[in-house]
Amino acid sequence: MRTRSRFRMSASRPWTLPALVAAAVATALLTTVPHGGPDRTGRAGPAGDVAAAAEPQGKARPDAHDVVLAVHGGAGSALHRDRTTPEQEKAYRDGLADAVRAGQKVLDRGGDSVSAVEAAVRSLEDNPLFNAGKGAVFTEDAGHELDASIMRGSDLKAGAVAGVRSVRNPISAARLVMEKSRHVMLAGEGADDFAARNGLPTVTQDYYWTQRRWDSLMDAKRAAAGSASRSDNGSGPAKASLADEQAKGTVGAVARDQKRNLAAATSTGGMTNKMSGRIGDSPIIGAGTYAKNGTVAASATGDGEIFIRGAATATISNLMEFGGKDVATAAYEVLIERLPKLGGSGGVIALDGKGTFDAPHSSEGLLHAYLTKDGKIVTKIFADETPPNS
């Protein structure tokens, strides 16, 4: 008999949120990103990994070749050397590198690309630095609703979950949907129950709580209240503050295995202060995630509504398949030329079957890392390591 461990926010929302918000607003916010660190241009990353040297990105030029796996930790405000301590730098580089190694272990023992991207994303979901799983942001009612998707390039099989509230690793739930159901996407309580019935670990909502994300929610609510006040006074339009620096902190992975089969996976906690029930691009096949042998494995991060409207990742594949474009040209066209015209920004990691890799982005930064076939891991976290394409 299975014991339900889901924390049902709906029953407690009427009284829990006002009390929590009032208490938190009355206190000074803390930040987990220290400032005042020394400049360390070109410093090697932890555990012998390579901290990529600053290199201007040319238009539609691949970032790397012979790549077998890559991960991202979200697009948005990049880290800056003069405001990041050595400890913070190490934490981010280690987090990305650990995810790469998790996927590498699968590939090294002959595992498939689907298992590799699942392992990589699970590592990121378990790391509170990133907006997925343990580090998920808060909704407007102080809850957590998580989304994830995964896709196999060999046969276009895909699975996704949206708005889950008690699955420890949503990416594994997405894979279950792909492999053990006749559906592509399950949402809400049905997705939570399906995952639990199939043996995935469940958690209560407090598992996802972190001080950093709570502080971001308080910041967003104060900004929204200030905008509303200015609007009431006739001094300017109200603006719904849904995002903070980490609102685009979606995580994802792409991989090609020894058979050159492609796979992609994406997971997210969504947007800070989002409406309950909001679903972004991460669980939507063709928007946040896409993989097709012969074209590309892609995982996106950014303004989800724009990536949905622009069918971002599927369009990259279509430009390659029907337009004859290479992966860098196709990814550049979508991320830099098309999506900004719709009013959004973000980034994508894109990998083709030959190992050509690109990570174009219109946002300030795109935290990511990749593994080459000779075993080298490259991490990119600073703004000067990932200059925005323009």
Helix axes 211-232, 9-25, angle to 10 degrees: 80
Q: Which of these is catalytic: 84, 139, 250, 386?
A: 250
User: Is 250 a residue of the active site?
Assistant: yes
CA distance 44 to 350: 25
Residue stretches of the annotated binding site: 278-281, 301-304
Residue stretches of the annotated binding site for substrate: 278-281, 301-304
Instruction: Enumerate the active-site residues.
Output: 250
